[in-house]
Structure 1
Amino acid sequence: MFRLLVRREPTGMAAGDIARQLGVPQNTMSAHLGILARAGLVRFERHSRSIVYRADLDGLRALTLFLVKDCCAGNAELCAPLVAELTPCC
């Protein structure tokens, strides 16, 4: 679901469309989207009768940085393979 929202940036998707595309009941999808919204990973806006969800890329960036900074506990060589994979070449 989150990858789908990232691919749909910046327009986002209505909750019902996400549920239909993923084959998930709408109430289940709404619960999952609510959890991601409270975690700061998705944002939503009401448009008439539907709610449009978008990936919160700033929230994703903050979470990723927290995890990477915390993962090595001061031992930089543990995170070196991850950093190398995330760093574009030249």
Structure 2
Amino acid sequence: MKIDDAAARLEALGNATRLKIYRMLVRAGRAGMPVGRLQERLKIPASTLSHHIKGLVAVGLISQVRESTTLVCHAEYDTMRGLVDFLVAECCADELECEVAARPAA
């Protein structure tokens, strides 16, 4: 994952409302959740919800599918895993180097 993509996704999740939406969709599983149910649970105006959903769709964290007259949102789990993998990929990479540098000279 490119750093700019990771930054955009983290920025999108940095908003409390978008983070709530995303967490609800992750909890909903592969079946996703209709926009109407998201609105009921969050108790926010449809226009506000639509604005936040657009932001999450734009960075690839969620997708939307029309099922008859219902718009259903789905968490993009591969994108989520990619973001988490990106965040932990460098975990402790410099630890050995730091330990060597911190040792007193013999």
TM-score (norm 1): 0.72
Residue 81 of structure 2: SS of its match in structure 1? helix
Q: 1-side partners of 2:58 and 2:90: how far apart?
A: 22
CA RMSD of aligned residues (A): 1.9
Identify the structure with bigger relative contact order (alpha carbons < 8 Å, sequence gap 6+).
2
Structure 1 gaps, min length 5:
78-90
1:60 to 61, 70, 80: 80
Structure 2 gaps, min length 5:
1-20, 97-106
Task: Tell me which structure has the larger Cα radius of gyration.
Answer: 2
Structure with bigger helix share is 2
TM-score (norm 2): 0.63
Which residue is equivalent to 2:23? 3
**% same residue:** 36
1:64 deviates by 1.2
Which residue is equivalent to 1:86? none
1:20 to 40, 59, 66: 40
Which residue is equivalent to 2:65? 45
